[in-house]
With several copies, the nearest count.
Chain A
Amino acid sequence: MAVASTVVYEYLRGKKKFPHVWCPGCGIGIIMGALLRAMADLEIKKGDVAMISGIGCTGRMPVYCDFHTLHTTHGRAIAFATGIKLSKPDLKVVAIVGDGDGLAIGGNHFIHAARRNIDITTILVNNKIYGMTGGQYSPTTPTGKFATTAPYGNLEHPFDAYLLAKGAGANFFARSSVYHATQLQVLIKKALLKKGFSVVEAMSNCHTLYGRLNKEGSAVQMINWFKDHAVNVNIAKKKTPEELEDKFITGVLWEDNRPEYSEQYEALIDRLGGRKKEEKPEAEVVKQ
Protein backbone atom coordinates (compact mmCIF):
# COMPACT_ATOMS: atom_id res chain seq x y z
CA MET A 1 0.00 0.00 0.00
CA ALA A 2 1.35 3.33 -1.04
CA VAL A 3 2.31 5.41 1.94
CA ALA A 4 5.37 6.89 0.29
CA SER A 5 5.30 10.63 0.65
CA THR A 6 5.93 11.27 -3.02
CA VAL A 7 3.36 9.12 -4.81
CA VAL A 8 0.68 11.75 -4.64
CA TYR A 9 2.64 14.34 -6.54
CA GLU A 10 2.25 12.38 -9.74
CA TYR A 11 -1.47 13.07 -9.53
CA LEU A 12 -1.37 16.70 -8.46
CA ARG A 13 -1.62 19.81 -10.55
CA GLY A 14 1.25 20.85 -8.38
CA LYS A 15 2.83 23.43 -10.57
CA LYS A 16 -0.30 25.36 -11.19
CA LYS A 17 -2.68 25.31 -8.38
CA PHE A 18 -0.98 25.11 -4.99
CA PRO A 19 -1.29 26.15 -2.22
CA HIS A 20 -4.94 25.20 -2.42
CA VAL A 21 -7.91 27.25 -1.22
CA TRP A 22 -8.87 25.23 1.79
CA CYS A 23 -8.45 26.58 5.30
CA PRO A 24 -5.36 25.60 7.24
CA GLY A 25 -6.04 22.14 8.62
CA CYS A 26 -9.13 21.42 6.58
CA GLY A 27 -9.66 17.69 6.26
CA ILE A 28 -10.57 17.81 2.59
CA GLY A 29 -6.89 17.83 1.70
CA ILE A 30 -6.29 14.73 3.78
CA ILE A 31 -9.13 12.96 2.00
CA MET A 32 -7.76 13.97 -1.35
CA GLY A 33 -4.41 12.51 -0.34
CA ALA A 34 -6.03 9.23 0.60
CA LEU A 35 -7.90 9.11 -2.70
CA LEU A 36 -4.77 9.78 -4.73
CA ARG A 37 -2.83 7.16 -2.82
CA ALA A 38 -5.60 4.68 -3.51
CA MET A 39 -5.24 5.51 -7.20
CA ALA A 40 -1.52 5.01 -6.94
CA ASP A 41 -2.02 1.67 -5.24
CA LEU A 42 -4.16 0.55 -8.13
CA GLU A 43 -1.80 2.09 -10.66
CA ILE A 44 -4.65 3.87 -12.33
CA LYS A 45 -3.55 6.11 -15.16
CA LYS A 46 -4.48 9.76 -14.94
CA GLY A 47 -6.01 9.72 -18.39
CA ASP A 48 -8.35 6.92 -17.40
CA VAL A 49 -10.02 8.83 -14.62
CA ALA A 50 -12.87 11.33 -14.76
CA MET A 51 -13.35 13.24 -11.52
CA ILE A 52 -16.58 15.18 -11.19
CA SER A 53 -17.59 17.41 -8.34
CA GLY A 54 -20.38 19.78 -7.39
CA ILE A 55 -20.14 23.06 -5.52
CA GLY A 56 -18.77 23.49 -2.03
CA CYS A 57 -15.38 23.52 -0.38
CA THR A 58 -15.30 19.83 -1.21
CA GLY A 59 -16.23 20.59 -4.76
CA ARG A 60 -12.92 22.34 -5.30
CA MET A 61 -10.99 19.09 -5.15
CA PRO A 62 -10.83 18.45 -8.91
CA VAL A 63 -8.94 21.70 -9.42
CA TYR A 64 -5.93 20.04 -7.82
CA CYS A 65 -6.05 16.61 -9.40
CA ASP A 66 -4.60 15.95 -12.81
CA PHE A 67 -7.43 13.84 -14.26
CA HIS A 68 -10.25 14.68 -16.59
CA THR A 69 -11.90 17.02 -14.13
CA LEU A 70 -15.31 18.63 -14.21
CA HIS A 71 -16.51 21.02 -11.54
CA THR A 72 -20.23 21.14 -12.11
CA THR A 73 -23.21 22.79 -10.44
CA HIS A 74 -24.28 22.43 -6.84
CA GLY A 75 -25.69 18.98 -6.23
CA ARG A 76 -25.42 17.60 -9.72
CA ALA A 77 -22.03 15.90 -9.82
CA ILE A 78 -23.46 12.41 -9.87
CA ALA A 79 -25.89 13.21 -12.67
CA PHE A 80 -23.08 14.61 -14.81
CA ALA A 81 -20.99 11.60 -13.90
CA THR A 82 -23.80 9.33 -15.04
CA GLY A 83 -23.68 10.81 -18.53
CA ILE A 84 -19.93 10.47 -18.63
CA LYS A 85 -19.86 6.89 -17.41
CA LEU A 86 -22.61 5.77 -19.74
CA SER A 87 -21.06 7.35 -22.81
CA LYS A 88 -17.49 6.35 -21.94
CA PRO A 89 -17.89 3.15 -19.96
CA ASP A 90 -14.16 2.47 -19.89
CA LEU A 91 -13.40 5.46 -17.71
CA LYS A 92 -13.01 5.18 -13.98
CA VAL A 93 -15.52 7.75 -12.82
CA VAL A 94 -15.19 9.37 -9.41
CA ALA A 95 -17.71 11.81 -7.99
CA ILE A 96 -16.63 14.10 -5.17
CA VAL A 97 -19.53 15.46 -3.16
CA GLY A 98 -20.05 17.31 0.09
CA ASP A 99 -22.76 16.55 2.60
CA GLY A 100 -24.84 19.49 1.41
CA ASP A 101 -23.95 19.05 -2.20
CA GLY A 102 -24.40 15.29 -2.29
CA LEU A 103 -27.21 14.78 0.17
CA ALA A 104 -29.22 18.02 0.32
CA ILE A 105 -29.65 19.49 -3.14
CA GLY A 106 -28.07 16.45 -4.75
CA GLY A 107 -29.93 13.80 -2.77
CA ASN A 108 -32.03 12.68 -5.68
CA HIS A 109 -29.14 11.94 -7.98
CA PHE A 110 -27.42 10.13 -5.13
CA ILE A 111 -30.28 7.72 -4.55
CA HIS A 112 -30.99 7.20 -8.22
CA ALA A 113 -27.39 6.45 -9.10
CA ALA A 114 -27.44 3.98 -6.21
CA ARG A 115 -30.63 2.42 -7.50
CA ARG A 116 -29.36 2.24 -11.05
CA ASN A 117 -26.11 0.85 -9.70
CA ILE A 118 -24.02 2.71 -12.19
CA ASP A 119 -20.29 2.35 -11.74
CA ILE A 120 -19.40 5.61 -10.04
CA THR A 121 -17.18 5.81 -7.00
CA THR A 122 -18.56 8.56 -4.82
CA ILE A 123 -16.42 10.19 -2.17
CA LEU A 124 -18.78 11.90 0.25
CA VAL A 125 -16.92 14.44 2.35
CA ASN A 126 -19.07 14.79 5.42
CA ASN A 127 -18.10 17.77 7.53
CA LYS A 128 -21.64 18.12 8.87
CA ILE A 129 -22.01 21.68 7.58
CA TYR A 130 -22.24 23.85 4.51
CA GLY A 131 -18.66 25.02 4.49
CA MET A 132 -18.48 27.13 1.38
CA THR A 133 -21.44 29.33 2.20
CA GLY A 134 -20.36 29.93 5.75
CA GLY A 135 -21.81 27.41 8.12
CA GLN A 136 -25.48 26.62 7.56
CA TYR A 137 -26.78 23.29 8.76
CA SER A 138 -26.66 20.39 6.36
CA PRO A 139 -28.58 17.12 6.21
CA THR A 140 -25.85 15.56 8.32
CA THR A 141 -25.70 18.20 11.04
CA PRO A 142 -26.65 16.37 14.23
CA THR A 143 -29.81 17.41 16.02
CA GLY A 144 -29.13 20.15 18.54
CA LYS A 145 -25.90 21.35 16.98
CA PHE A 146 -25.51 24.97 16.00
CA ALA A 147 -25.22 26.50 12.59
CA THR A 148 -25.81 29.97 11.24
CA THR A 149 -29.30 28.93 10.16
CA ALA A 150 -29.79 26.91 13.32
CA PRO A 151 -29.11 29.62 15.90
CA TYR A 152 -31.18 27.77 18.50
CA GLY A 153 -29.79 24.35 17.72
CA ASN A 154 -30.70 22.17 14.79
CA LEU A 155 -34.24 20.78 14.95
CA GLU A 156 -33.76 18.37 12.08
CA HIS A 157 -32.58 14.77 12.17
CA PRO A 158 -29.48 13.95 10.20
CA PHE A 159 -29.28 11.38 7.47
CA ASP A 160 -27.19 8.35 8.08
CA ALA A 161 -25.64 8.24 4.63
CA TYR A 162 -25.06 4.54 5.02
CA LEU A 163 -28.70 3.74 5.61
CA LEU A 164 -29.76 6.06 2.84
CA ALA A 165 -27.35 4.60 0.30
CA LYS A 166 -28.25 1.08 1.26
CA GLY A 167 -31.96 1.85 1.21
CA ALA A 168 -31.55 3.24 -2.27
CA GLY A 169 -29.65 0.21 -3.49
CA ALA A 170 -25.98 1.15 -3.43
CA ASN A 171 -23.57 -1.69 -4.06
CA PHE A 172 -20.93 -0.63 -1.57
CA PHE A 173 -20.72 1.70 1.36
CA ALA A 174 -17.75 2.37 3.58
CA ARG A 175 -16.95 5.03 6.13
CA SER A 176 -13.82 6.39 7.66
CA SER A 177 -12.45 9.73 8.78
CA VAL A 178 -9.60 12.12 8.22
CA TYR A 179 -7.93 10.76 11.29
CA HIS A 180 -7.96 7.29 9.79
CA ALA A 181 -6.09 8.31 6.65
CA THR A 182 -4.73 4.85 5.95
CA GLN A 183 -8.03 3.10 6.48
CA LEU A 184 -9.65 5.70 4.28
CA GLN A 185 -7.16 4.94 1.55
CA VAL A 186 -7.83 1.21 1.78
CA LEU A 187 -11.57 1.73 1.72
CA ILE A 188 -11.38 4.02 -1.28
CA LYS A 189 -9.29 1.43 -3.02
CA LYS A 190 -11.96 -1.14 -2.40
CA ALA A 191 -14.60 1.21 -3.66
CA LEU A 192 -12.61 1.89 -6.81
CA LEU A 193 -12.32 -1.82 -7.42
CA LYS A 194 -16.00 -2.43 -6.82
CA LYS A 195 -18.24 -2.49 -9.88
CA GLY A 196 -21.37 -0.48 -9.38
CA PHE A 197 -22.29 2.51 -7.31
CA SER A 198 -19.96 2.70 -4.36
CA VAL A 199 -19.80 5.32 -1.65
CA VAL A 200 -17.02 6.15 0.75
CA GLU A 201 -18.10 8.58 3.40
CA ALA A 202 -15.12 10.46 4.77
CA MET A 203 -15.85 12.25 8.03
CA SER A 204 -14.02 15.54 7.88
CA ASN A 205 -13.33 18.52 10.07
CA CYS A 206 -14.62 21.96 9.30
CA HIS A 207 -13.18 23.59 12.39
CA THR A 208 -13.51 27.00 10.77
CA LEU A 209 -17.28 26.84 10.88
CA TYR A 210 -18.72 23.72 12.42
CA GLY A 211 -15.97 23.54 14.97
CA ARG A 212 -16.20 27.20 15.89
CA LEU A 213 -20.00 27.31 16.09
CA ASN A 214 -20.09 24.19 18.21
CA LYS A 215 -17.00 24.83 20.29
CA GLU A 216 -15.29 21.71 19.05
CA GLY A 217 -11.92 23.32 18.79
CA SER A 218 -9.13 23.43 16.24
CA ALA A 219 -8.42 21.16 13.33
CA VAL A 220 -6.20 19.08 15.56
CA GLN A 221 -8.85 18.77 18.24
CA MET A 222 -11.51 17.80 15.77
CA ILE A 223 -9.24 15.25 14.13
CA ASN A 224 -8.55 13.74 17.49
CA TRP A 225 -12.27 13.62 18.14
CA PHE A 226 -12.55 11.32 15.16
CA LYS A 227 -9.89 9.11 16.66
CA ASP A 228 -11.78 8.80 19.91
CA HIS A 229 -15.23 8.26 18.45
CA ALA A 230 -14.64 5.79 15.66
CA VAL A 231 -15.70 2.21 16.13
CA ASN A 232 -14.85 -0.38 13.55
CA VAL A 233 -17.88 -2.12 12.13
CA ASN A 234 -16.82 -5.50 13.45
CA ILE A 235 -16.38 -4.21 16.92
CA ALA A 236 -19.57 -2.19 16.70
CA LYS A 237 -21.55 -5.35 16.11
CA LYS A 238 -20.78 -6.42 19.64
CA LYS A 239 -21.77 -3.12 21.22
CA THR A 240 -25.09 -1.90 22.52
CA PRO A 241 -26.79 1.14 20.99
CA GLU A 242 -26.01 3.06 24.19
CA GLU A 243 -22.33 2.30 23.90
CA LEU A 244 -22.45 3.55 20.33
CA GLU A 245 -24.40 6.67 21.21
CA ASP A 246 -21.89 9.33 20.21
CA LYS A 247 -19.72 7.07 18.10
CA PHE A 248 -19.49 6.61 14.36
CA ILE A 249 -18.93 3.31 12.69
CA THR A 250 -16.10 2.81 10.25
CA GLY A 251 -15.16 0.16 7.75
CA VAL A 252 -17.12 -1.49 4.97
CA LEU A 253 -20.70 -1.18 6.19
CA TRP A 254 -22.42 -2.62 3.18
CA GLU A 255 -21.56 -4.62 0.14
CA ASP A 256 -23.67 -6.22 -2.56
CA ASN A 257 -23.15 -7.60 -6.02
CA ARG A 258 -25.94 -6.40 -8.24
CA PRO A 259 -25.45 -6.06 -12.00
CA GLU A 260 -23.90 -2.78 -13.02
CA TYR A 261 -25.80 -0.43 -15.28
CA SER A 262 -23.32 0.62 -17.94
CA GLU A 263 -22.17 -2.96 -18.37
CA GLN A 264 -25.77 -4.00 -18.89
CA TYR A 265 -26.20 -1.26 -21.42
CA GLU A 266 -23.12 -2.33 -23.37
CA ALA A 267 -24.48 -5.86 -23.36
CA LEU A 268 -27.73 -4.53 -24.80
CA ILE A 269 -25.84 -2.79 -27.57
CA ASP A 270 -24.09 -6.03 -28.36
CA ARG A 271 -27.35 -7.93 -28.29
CA LEU A 272 -28.83 -5.50 -30.79
CA GLY A 273 -25.78 -5.62 -32.99
CA GLY A 274 -25.14 -1.97 -32.34
CA ARG A 275 -21.36 -2.19 -32.35
CA LYS A 276 -21.10 -1.93 -36.10
CA LYS A 277 -22.76 1.17 -37.39
CA GLU A 278 -25.94 0.65 -39.35
CA GLU A 279 -26.37 2.23 -42.74
CA LYS A 280 -29.70 3.89 -42.53
CA PRO A 281 -32.16 4.90 -39.86
CA GLU A 282 -35.06 2.53 -39.81
CA ALA A 283 -37.96 4.80 -39.46
CA GLU A 284 -41.21 3.73 -38.05
CA VAL A 285 -43.27 4.69 -35.08
CA VAL A 286 -46.89 4.11 -34.51
CA LYS A 287 -48.79 5.12 -31.48
CA GLN A 288 -52.45 4.28 -31.34
Chain B
Amino acid sequence: MIKKSKKDSTDSNRIEIRLSGSGGQGLIFAGVLLAESVGIYEGKNVAQTQSYGPEARGGASRSDVVIADGPIYYPKSMSLDILIALTQQACDEYYPALKEYGVLIVDSGLVRQLPTDNAYAIPFTHIARTEVGTPVVTNVVALGALAAITGIVNVKNLEKVLLSRAPKGTEEKNKLALSEGYKIGKELLKQRETELVERF
Protein backbone atom coordinates (compact mmCIF):
# COMPACT_ATOMS: atom_id res chain seq x y z
CA MET B 1 0.00 0.00 0.00
CA ILE B 2 2.78 2.39 0.87
CA LYS B 3 5.07 3.13 -1.99
CA LYS B 4 8.75 2.87 -1.39
CA SER B 5 10.48 6.21 -1.38
CA LYS B 6 11.68 6.77 -4.89
CA LYS B 7 13.75 9.72 -3.96
CA ASP B 8 16.58 8.04 -2.23
CA SER B 9 17.84 4.94 -3.84
CA THR B 10 20.07 4.14 -0.89
CA ASP B 11 17.38 3.34 1.63
CA SER B 12 15.74 0.01 1.87
CA ASN B 13 12.01 0.37 2.31
CA ARG B 14 12.25 3.69 4.07
CA ILE B 15 8.87 4.93 5.21
CA GLU B 16 8.33 8.37 6.71
CA ILE B 17 5.36 9.07 8.93
CA ARG B 18 4.43 12.38 10.51
CA LEU B 19 1.98 12.76 13.38
CA SER B 20 1.08 16.42 13.62
CA GLY B 21 -1.27 18.70 15.49
CA SER B 22 -0.96 20.97 18.46
CA GLY B 23 0.91 20.62 21.73
CA GLY B 24 -1.02 18.63 24.28
CA GLN B 25 -2.56 16.25 21.73
CA GLY B 26 -0.02 13.61 22.72
CA LEU B 27 1.57 13.30 19.33
CA ILE B 28 5.05 12.70 20.60
CA PHE B 29 3.77 9.93 22.79
CA ALA B 30 1.98 8.45 19.80
CA GLY B 31 5.18 8.62 17.80
CA VAL B 32 7.03 6.79 20.54
CA LEU B 33 4.39 4.05 20.63
CA LEU B 34 4.59 3.63 16.91
CA ALA B 35 8.37 3.61 16.86
CA GLU B 36 8.63 1.17 19.70
CA SER B 37 6.10 -1.23 18.19
CA VAL B 38 7.76 -1.27 14.83
CA GLY B 39 11.29 -1.07 16.15
CA ILE B 40 11.29 -3.44 19.06
CA TYR B 41 8.56 -5.89 18.08
CA GLU B 42 8.76 -5.90 14.34
CA GLY B 43 12.51 -5.81 13.99
CA LYS B 44 12.74 -2.76 11.78
CA ASN B 45 14.99 0.20 12.22
CA VAL B 46 13.23 3.29 13.44
CA ALA B 47 14.05 6.89 14.16
CA GLN B 48 11.56 9.03 15.96
CA THR B 49 12.09 12.77 16.07
CA GLN B 50 10.00 15.76 16.97
CA SER B 51 9.83 19.45 16.76
CA TYR B 52 8.20 21.89 19.08
CA GLY B 53 8.30 25.56 19.81
CA PRO B 54 9.75 27.06 22.94
CA GLU B 55 6.30 27.34 24.38
CA ALA B 56 6.28 23.54 24.76
CA ARG B 57 2.58 23.70 25.37
CA GLY B 58 -0.11 24.91 23.03
CA GLY B 59 1.92 25.62 19.92
CA ALA B 60 2.26 23.42 16.88
CA SER B 61 3.71 20.01 17.51
CA ARG B 62 4.85 17.18 15.33
CA SER B 63 6.43 13.82 15.71
CA ASP B 64 8.10 12.00 12.87
CA VAL B 65 8.79 8.29 12.64
CA VAL B 66 11.09 6.93 9.99
CA ILE B 67 10.98 3.19 9.44
CA ALA B 68 13.36 1.17 7.32
CA ASP B 69 14.75 -2.29 6.92
CA GLY B 70 18.31 -1.03 6.57
CA PRO B 71 20.17 1.70 8.42
CA ILE B 72 18.50 5.07 8.77
CA TYR B 73 21.03 7.77 8.13
CA TYR B 74 19.03 10.91 7.82
CA PRO B 75 16.73 10.67 10.82
CA LYS B 76 14.20 13.30 9.90
CA SER B 77 11.56 13.17 7.24
CA MET B 78 12.35 14.34 3.74
CA SER B 79 9.11 13.56 1.97
CA LEU B 80 6.34 11.96 3.86
CA ASP B 81 4.72 8.66 3.08
CA ILE B 82 2.06 9.14 5.70
CA LEU B 83 0.77 12.30 7.35
CA ILE B 84 -1.62 12.35 10.25
CA ALA B 85 -2.90 15.85 10.94
CA LEU B 86 -5.05 16.59 13.96
CA THR B 87 -5.42 20.32 13.30
CA GLN B 88 -6.13 22.41 10.27
CA GLN B 89 -2.90 24.32 10.80
CA ALA B 90 -0.87 21.14 10.84
CA CYS B 91 -2.61 19.84 7.77
CA ASP B 92 -2.00 23.05 5.84
CA GLU B 93 1.59 23.26 6.91
CA TYR B 94 2.68 19.72 6.30
CA TYR B 95 0.57 18.54 3.40
CA PRO B 96 3.06 19.91 0.87
CA ALA B 97 5.66 17.56 2.33
CA LEU B 98 3.51 14.53 1.54
CA LYS B 99 4.53 12.44 -1.43
CA GLU B 100 2.36 12.24 -4.45
CA TYR B 101 0.85 8.93 -3.45
CA GLY B 102 1.24 9.48 0.26
CA VAL B 103 -1.51 8.77 2.73
CA LEU B 104 -3.23 11.64 4.51
CA ILE B 105 -5.23 10.92 7.64
CA VAL B 106 -6.96 13.80 9.41
CA ASP B 107 -9.27 14.50 12.29
CA SER B 108 -12.38 15.37 10.42
CA GLY B 109 -13.72 17.34 13.38
CA LEU B 110 -10.80 19.74 13.34
CA VAL B 111 -9.59 19.68 9.77
CA ARG B 112 -12.44 21.07 7.76
CA GLN B 113 -10.64 22.06 4.61
CA LEU B 114 -9.02 19.05 3.06
CA PRO B 115 -6.20 19.70 0.61
CA THR B 116 -7.14 16.56 -1.32
CA ASP B 117 -10.16 14.36 -1.59
CA ASN B 118 -7.79 11.46 -1.34
CA ALA B 119 -7.66 11.67 2.45
CA TYR B 120 -8.90 9.55 5.28
CA ALA B 121 -10.99 11.89 7.37
CA ILE B 122 -11.97 10.44 10.72
CA PRO B 123 -13.41 12.29 13.71
CA PHE B 124 -10.76 11.10 16.16
CA THR B 125 -11.48 13.61 18.88
CA HIS B 126 -15.15 12.98 18.63
CA ILE B 127 -14.66 9.22 18.80
CA ALA B 128 -12.37 9.59 21.78
CA ARG B 129 -14.91 11.73 23.55
CA THR B 130 -17.98 9.76 22.73
CA GLU B 131 -16.74 6.19 22.55
CA VAL B 132 -14.05 6.30 25.23
CA GLY B 133 -15.28 9.23 27.24
CA THR B 134 -12.20 11.46 27.11
CA PRO B 135 -10.47 13.47 24.40
CA VAL B 136 -7.13 12.61 26.03
CA VAL B 137 -6.92 9.38 24.01
CA THR B 138 -7.43 11.04 20.64
CA ASN B 139 -3.85 10.22 19.75
CA VAL B 140 -4.42 6.53 20.44
CA VAL B 141 -7.56 6.44 18.34
CA ALA B 142 -5.53 7.89 15.51
CA LEU B 143 -2.84 5.27 15.98
CA GLY B 144 -5.40 2.52 15.74
CA ALA B 145 -6.69 3.96 12.50
CA LEU B 146 -3.17 4.33 11.19
CA ALA B 147 -2.49 0.66 11.83
CA ALA B 148 -5.65 -0.34 10.07
CA ILE B 149 -5.28 1.92 7.07
CA THR B 150 -1.57 1.60 6.35
CA GLY B 151 -0.65 -1.74 7.80
CA ILE B 152 2.79 -0.44 8.72
CA VAL B 153 2.37 -1.61 12.27
CA ASN B 154 0.67 -4.57 13.84
CA VAL B 155 -2.08 -3.37 16.12
CA LYS B 156 -1.30 -6.13 18.62
CA ASN B 157 2.19 -4.79 19.06
CA LEU B 158 0.85 -1.32 19.42
CA GLU B 159 -1.41 -2.57 22.19
CA LYS B 160 1.46 -4.26 23.98
CA VAL B 161 3.54 -1.13 23.95
CA LEU B 162 0.61 1.05 24.82
CA LEU B 163 -0.20 -0.99 27.89
CA SER B 164 3.39 -0.91 29.08
CA ARG B 165 3.76 2.83 28.58
CA ALA B 166 0.34 4.10 29.60
CA PRO B 167 -0.06 5.55 33.07
CA LYS B 168 -1.52 3.14 35.59
CA GLY B 169 -5.29 3.12 35.60
CA THR B 170 -5.67 4.29 32.03
CA GLU B 171 -5.02 0.92 30.41
CA GLU B 172 -8.63 0.06 29.62
CA LYS B 173 -9.46 3.39 28.09
CA ASN B 174 -6.36 3.26 25.98
CA LYS B 175 -7.10 -0.25 24.80
CA LEU B 176 -10.61 0.76 23.87
CA ALA B 177 -9.37 3.84 22.05
CA LEU B 178 -6.94 1.79 20.04
CA SER B 179 -9.50 -0.72 18.99
CA GLU B 180 -12.07 1.95 18.15
CA GLY B 181 -9.53 3.63 15.95
CA TYR B 182 -8.57 0.35 14.37
CA LYS B 183 -12.18 -0.49 13.75
CA ILE B 184 -13.04 2.73 12.00
CA GLY B 185 -9.81 2.57 10.06
CA LYS B 186 -10.69 -0.84 8.75
CA GLU B 187 -14.16 0.27 7.86
CA LEU B 188 -12.94 3.29 6.05
CA LEU B 189 -10.36 1.29 4.21
CA LYS B 190 -12.96 -1.10 3.01
CA GLN B 191 -15.21 1.69 1.96
CA ARG B 192 -12.35 3.40 0.16
CA GLU B 193 -11.40 0.26 -1.68
CA THR B 194 -14.98 -0.05 -2.80
CA GLU B 195 -14.90 3.56 -3.91
CA LEU B 196 -11.72 2.99 -5.84
CA VAL B 197 -13.12 -0.03 -7.47
CA GLU B 198 -16.18 1.97 -8.39
CA ARG B 199 -14.11 4.80 -9.77
CA PHE B 200 -11.98 2.78 -12.09
Genuine A/B complex: yes
Determine how close the nearest CB of chain B comes to the CB of A18; give it in whole angstroms. 13
List of B residues within 8 angstroms of A287 by Cβ? 28
A24 touches B56 (CB 8 A): no
Docked Cα-Cα span, A24 to B55, in Å, equals 12
Give chain A interface residues in 12-30, CB to chain B under 8 Å: 21-24
Select the residue from A23, A132, A288 with max chain B CB neighbours within 10 A: A288
Q: Chain A residues near B55 (CB, 8 Å)?
A: 21-22
Q: Is A21's CB under 8 angstroms from B29's CB?
A: no
The interface size bin for chain B is 10 to 19
Of the residues B28, B56, B58, contact of A134 by C-beta under 8 Å: B56
- Looking at chain A's contact residues, the main secondary structure is loop
A208 lies within 8 A of B28 (CB): no
A288 touches B28 (CB 8 A): yes
Task: Assess A23 versus B57: contact at CB under 8 Å? Given A286-B32, A286-B165.
Answer: yes
Chain B 35-73 interface mask (CB, 8 Å, partner A; 1/0): 000000000000000000111111100000000000000
CA of A134 to CA of B28, assembled, Å: 15
Does B181 sit within 8 A of A, measured CB to CB? no
- Determine the chain A residues whose CB is within 8 A of the CB of B21 once the complex forms: none
Nearest CB on A from B35, distance (A): 12
B136 nearest CB neighbor, chain A only: A288
Residue in A21, A132, A134 whose CB lies within 8 Å of B59: A21
CB-based contact B58/A286 at 8 Å = no
Q: Is B26's CB within 8 Å of the partner chain A?
A: yes
Q: Are B56 and A132 in contact (CB under 8 A)?
A: yes
- Cβ of A22: which chain B residues have Cβ within 8 Å of it? 55, 58
CA distance A22 to B57 in the complex (A): 8
Among A21, A22, A208, max chain B CB count under 10 A is at: A21
Q: Which residues of the other chain, A, contact B53 by a CB distance below 8 angstroms?
A: 21
Contact A21 B58 (CB under 8 A): yes
Contact with B along A125-144 (1 / 0, CB 8 A): 00000001010000000000
Q: Determine the distance from Cα of A23 to Cα of B54 in the docked complex, in whole angstroms.
A: 12
A/B interface sample: 10 pairs, CB < 8 A: A21-B58, A21-B59, A22-B55, A22-B58, A23-B57, A132-B56, A134-B56, A208-B57, A288-B26, A288-B29
